[in-house]
Structure 1
């Protein structure tokens, strides 16, 4: 056996544990406040403790869990302040991505983005808000990628996980998106037109208005975190 293979196999197991736990956290299957010892989590996944421990360390770095000595991992909530800070940061980062995409994005990339928007519209018509959330997340990731700036894309994606998690809660409370879905098409059209200022400003306001709407819904429901 090649000496690198055990390390590669362990890495694969860690990635698998990480993705499974992350998906359950983002979808709310492991809700805020959920806590379990590492052995219980390993049993839940049908895996040994070592890859699970490494996966939990990665999730802690993502801000999704807190590792408590002798008590295991605890899923962290997202506070209203967290949400506002994340949306404010994204308003700047995604505005930069949209403006940069005016110079970088080709027709094939924009066609892929528009196809995602069509699927999102179909989901809204079916009142399938969970499917809409998946397509919305995909749109924002593709927009980040369209910038052609790998570091910018990575920064944006790090925040989008938290946005998706907050969105799933808000959609269940509000039964509708927090932000104006029509803004997405305005951004894409501005990119097609080479309108850097229009794409930048629409993307910026889209996030800020979404933040205000989410803030209103959570406050109306008496929630300080999700």
Structure 2
């Protein structure tokens, strides 16, 4: 039996801890730290931290500067526009794939539950819970497509989109339209309406993209 690799486990732990700090803007765009400082903050040795930082650099979240540590990369308006265009196209494709299969209510339950959780979070004015449920909805849609290559491409951009969304969460209008749009998408998926599902999802994503880009313009942000 293959024994677990402790060092690999430490790298995974370091990766998740650093990634979470970046996504939650504990380490905001432009944040710099020496490798030793990161290791001390995590209570780890430098070896797993170094490997974790290389992975995060491949994810597009940080820049590793030899002898100067690490810098959290910003996301510019151009970055976000391009990322949303990619995510919109891929999610619409996922919606078409799922709709053509005419999924059962059991298959759609993760999307239905996430939408209900979004409604509940809004009623409680809990934007963090709303954002978590919203992400579960979109992740479940991607997974339901069953297309591994499509999913892998989406996950490649997921973290950067998440970071910008969380940064702007309380600067945007209250997301009262999202639950209705999600419900409409679930209805199209259930009916096997591939074109309709793609259209609803496209309008939903394009609205969210416009709202985010307005934040950049309104607050004169060159990056976030």
TM-score by length of 1: 0.93
Equivalent residue number for residue 112 of structure 2:
114
Tell which deviates more after alignment, 102-111 or 214-223: 102-111
Equivalent residue number for residue 94 of structure 2:
97
Q: Which residue of the other structure, out of 144, 149, 166, is the alignment partner of 1:146?
A: 144
Deviations 1:99-126 (A, max 9, x none): 1011344432201211111111111111
Matched, 1:211 2:206: no
Equivalent residue number for residue 194 of structure 1:
192
User: Does structure 1 retain, via aligned residues, the 8 Å contact 2:172–2:211?
Assistant: no
Equivalent residue number for residue 12 of structure 1:
9
Q: Which residue of the other structure, out of 213, 216, 220, is the alignment partner of 1:222?
A: 220
User: Does structure 2 retain, via aligned residues, the 8 Å contact 1:141–1:157?
Assistant: no
Equivalent residue number for residue 42 of structure 2:
45
* Partner SS state of residue 70, structure 2: strand
Unaligned runs of 5+ in 2: none
Matched, 1:176 2:135: no
TM-score by length of 2: 0.94
* Partner SS state of residue 71, structure 2: strand
User: Does structure 1 retain, via aligned residues, the 8 Å contact 2:100–2:193?
Assistant: no
Q: Which residue of the other structure, out of 33, 36, 44, is the alignment partner of 2:33?
A: 36
Residues in 2 aligned to 1:175 and 1:51: alpha-carbon distance in whole angstroms: 41
Deviation at 1:172? 2.4
Residues in 2 aligned to 1:132 and 1:148: alpha-carbon distance in whole angstroms: 25
Residues in 2 aligned to 1:213 and 1:76: alpha-carbon distance in whole angstroms: 22
* Partner SS state of residue 86, structure 1: helix
Residues in 1 aligned to 2:66 and 2:193: alpha-carbon distance in whole angstroms: 53
* Partner SS state of residue 81, structure 2: helix
Equivalent residue number for residue 24 of structure 1:
21
Q: Which residue of the other structure, out of 50, 58, 63, is the alignment partner of 1:61?
A: 58
Residues in 1 aligned to 2:137 and 2:6: alpha-carbon distance in whole angstroms: 32
Deviation at 1:98? 0.4
Tell which deviates more after alignment, 26-35 or 101-110: 101-110
